[in-house]
Amino acid sequence: MDMIRGVLLDLAGVVYEGDHVLPGAVEAVHRLHEAGLPIRFVTNTTTKTKKELVSRLTGMGLEISGDELFTPGQAARAWLAEHDAAPFLLVHPNLEEEFADVPNAPARAVVVGDAGRAFSFENMNRAFRELVDGAAFLALAKNRTFMDEDGELSLDAGAFVTALEYSSGKDAIVLGKPSPDFFEAALASMGCAPKDAVMVGDDAESDVAGALKSGLAQAILVRTGKYRDGDERRFEPPPTAVAEDLPAAADWILDHRTG
């Protein structure tokens, strides 16, 4: 067993559910902080700004700083900074302000997220032309469908990412779970190597198998949120451990942190 030097925590279904924090979650996060373990809260949310999310979570009583929240939007900002590139945005209107202060640069990157109604032919074609002209291609998500407000499935961002991939011949760098690029960026933001990290999530496929496939040494599946009986046997690789909830996962981490 390696040393644990960093923790990735999924949010919905692990820390909170709907509008309320899950039992013991506030105290579990506090214990991880007290133990000096760096944490990143990793979420695929692409419709809320970091500011909105942090204010919602602190409103639930959770200890969380802006630096600890890692979203696909954050990962895209980090990528743009590292590659000295300016974005062409096709994202949710709420997310545009997140990129407002990105400096102009000669290099370009198309950033595609949950643009919804903004996925017009004109905007898609502008993004396509940027790609043909040499822009890099970042996707904040590649989900196929989502449950819409009217209770029916709707087309998710992945459809439009795939459309641009098909016509441009470029594969998007996907900056959301379960993409290795995303897990790596979250760990890099706290200077932690994958072999020293643990991920905690309620989604056996995307959070747990996804993290292990991305090279993380450990991933714990919690039986809260979207967990369904038998999920620990449904995907490869299986979880390193299964815990009742986040407090039990924190116990496991604190027990194993010194290897």
Task: Considering only residues 17 through 46, tell me which ones interact with a second copy, judged by CB under 8 A.
Answer: none
Span near a second copy by CB under 8 A; candidates 75-83, 105-113, 165-173, 251-259: 165-173
Exposure string of 114-123, with b = 16+ CB inside 10 Å and e = fewer, is bbbebbeeeb
For the range 64-67, what are the long-range contacts, defined as Cβ-Cβ under 8 Å and sequence gap of 24 or more?
64/29, 67/189
Cβ 46 to a second copy shortest distance, Å: 15
Q: Are 83 and 150 in contact (CB under 8 A)?
A: no
Q: Let me know if 92 is exposed, middle or buried by CB neighbors in 10 A (0-12, 13-18, 19+).
A: buried
Binding a second copy (rule: CB under 8 A), the pick from 19, 122, 149, 255 is: 122
Give SS3 for 111.
strand
188 part of the interface to a second copy, by CB under 8 A: no
Span near a second copy by CB under 8 A; candidates 7-15, 92-100, 154-162, 178-186: 154-162
160 part of the interface to a second copy, by CB under 8 A: yes
Residue 252 CA, chain-centre distance (Å), reads: 23
Span near a second copy by CB under 8 A; candidates 7-15, 70-78, 110-118, 225-233: 110-118
Q: For binding to a second copy (CB under 8 A), which residues are involved?
A: 115-122, 124-125, 128-129, 132, 144-145, 152-156, 158-160, 162-164, 166-167, 169
